[in-house]
Amino acid sequence: MVKATDTKLPKREVFSLAHKAYDEIRDKILKGEFPVGIVLSRRKVAVDLKMSLPPVSEAFQQLESEGLLESKPRVGTRVRIPTEQDVRDRGIIREALETQAARLFTERASAGEKQELRRMGRHLDKLYACCEAETVNRNFLFSVNTFHMDLHLRIAEGAQCPVLRDAIEREQVLIFNWLYDTVAQRRPLSSNFHAKLTAALATGKPEVADAAMREHIRFGLNEVLAKIGDFGKGENGWRLKKKRTERSGSIDQS
């Protein structure tokens, strides 16, 4: 097993490994394998990924900049506990971007793109129906959420505005799904939840598409906000989480 050390690596190799480490850690967070609030050790993660410390530290920095991790001096790094204001602010930005994409999609997308979007909506509803089982596999749920993100990016692509598409991708639909699934424990969706949205975008006028997307994005937001308030109480949760990780031997020693 490769040990986590401070050995210097060539810059190009560090970049390549950092990208791999970023993908691995991000996926574990979004799948719920690294739950909200858990303290992570750079050294332990490096050992688990069979990497040295530099690429893992770079991955941690990137994930901090994206709001998935947070650090506190002399305490460590943990999976970030979003605040209610975080969720509200990102929801506002996402709503503004995606309602505009929905309006443009109705005006600019081809007939073929609209037909494909409706097919994706129906398929996504079937996938989420499979997720209602109590023992749903985390990897399967993650793949469903990834397909959900693809659907939203397909809408943005049909809007024919690359800058808007890139902005929506940066807002990361996966992050919202992570909050719904691992924090608020999403309530069951209606059997035509996404079919209804995609039909509105494929057949409706811009104002109809706008309203449908706005309703879609706001769904479940109140549940997330209510649950967020239960996390991070008492020094924003650091003391509690540190005690738990000390007992399990995973306290951050980076």
pLDDT tens digit string along 242-254?
444 444 444 444 4
Is residue 230 pLDDT above 80, yes or no? no
Collapsing DSSP states into helix, strand and coil, what is residue 33?
A: coil
Same structural domain, 202 and 183: yes
Q: pLDDT tens, 185-229? A: 656 778 899 999 999 999 989 999 999 999 998 987 877 777 776
49 with 59: CB under 8 angstroms?
no
Which pLDDT does position 16 carry in this prediction? 84
* DSSP-assigned beta bridge partners for residue 39: 78
Same structural domain, 216 and 102: yes
Collapsing DSSP states into helix, strand and coil, what is residue 77?
A: strand
Which pLDDT does position 247 carry in this prediction? 45
Taken as a whole, the chain contains a residue count of 254
Which pLDDT does position 27 carry in this prediction? 87
Percent of the chain with pLDDT strictly greater than 90: 44
Residues 63-76, mean pLDDT to the nearest whole number: 87
**Number of domains present in the structure of the chain:** 2
Domain assignment present for 27: yes
* CA-based max dimension of the chain: 59
Residues 13-41, mean pLDDT to the nearest whole number: 85
Same structural domain, 214 and 157: yes
Confidence of residue 4 (pLDDT cuts 50, 70, 90): very low
Which pLDDT does position 104 carry in this prediction? 98
Q: Quote the pTM value.
A: 0.74
Which pLDDT does position 74 carry in this prediction? 80
Is residue 174 pLDDT above 90, yes or no? no
> pLDDT averaged over the chain?
81
Is pLDDT larger for residue 235 or for residue 28? 28
Kind and range of the H or E element at 70?
strand 69-72
Write the CB contacts of 85 (distance below 8 Å, at least 6 apart in sequence).
none
Q: What is the CATH number of the domain that holds 98?
A: 1.20.120.530
Same structural domain, 165 and 123: yes
Q: What is the CATH number of the domain that holds 49?
A: 1.10.10.10
Same structural domain, 139 and 221: yes
Domain of residue 98: give its range. Answer: 84-227
Which pLDDT does position 243 carry in this prediction? 45
Confidence of residue 141 (pLDDT cuts 50, 70, 90): confident
Same structural domain, 112 and 177: yes
Q: Phi, psi (5° rounding) for residue 185? A: 55, 75
CA distance 219 to 236: 27
Domain assignment present for 29: yes
Same structural domain, 108 and 187: yes
Domain assignment present for 1: no
Which pLDDT does position 184 carry in this prediction? 59
How many other CB atoms are found less than 10 A from the CB of residue 220?
17
Residues 52-62, mean pLDDT to the nearest whole number: 94
